[in-house]
Amino acid sequence: MYNTIVTVCHLVSDPELKEISGGKKVCKMRVCVSSQNAKTKNFIDVEAWDRQAEICSQYLKKGREVLIQGELCMDTWEKEGKKTSKHFIRANTIQFLGGNGGEKKDGQSQDGSKPQDNSKSLPDSKPQSDSSYEDESIPF
């Protein structure tokens, strides 16, 4: 089965970095996904792990636009005898989009200089498997 999701979205809260057992780090974020003319907004949680989690926690803030590529996952738990579940994205890569919030509408930063391109692509902290597929063999 192929499970991947790619979306451009905005953070609706500041990222939260936590250290769990074994020294692993996880950064949890909540994002809003919607098309420009959508009447409804979709909110979904995102998890980033290890070094990627540290970078997201350090550089991302509420309102920042990001491109996320990852796996759609489901978390289930029982609360007060009732089974509950929710979908979330486990991020493989996160690319920072847009400005850093210090830009004026004319595209200049507050000190009058042109902003630098601060788009960053964060690789997955897990090793990637070798793929024998070439771009030309993908039909879409």
User: What global pTM score does this model have?
Assistant: 0.68
What tens-digit pLDDT sequence spans the chain (140 residues)? 789 999 999 999 999 999 998 889 999 999 999 877 778 889 999 999 999 999 999 999 999 999 999 999 999 999 899 999 999 999 999 999 986 643 433 443 333 334 444 445 555 544 444 444 444 555 54
5 touches 33 (CB < 8 A): no
69 touches 5 (CB < 8 A): yes
63 touches 101 (CB < 8 A): yes
Q: What is the CATH number of domain 5-102?
A: 2.40.50.140
Cα distance between residue 50 and residue 31, in whole Å? 20
Please report the pLDDT score of residue 108 as a whole number: 37
Cα distance between residue 125 and residue 60, in whole Å? 18
All residues at 6 or more sequence positions from 69 whose CB lies less than 8 Å from its CB, including other chains: 4, 5, 6, 91, 92, 93, 94
- Return the DSSP state at 106: T
Please report the pLDDT score of residue 2 as a whole number: 87
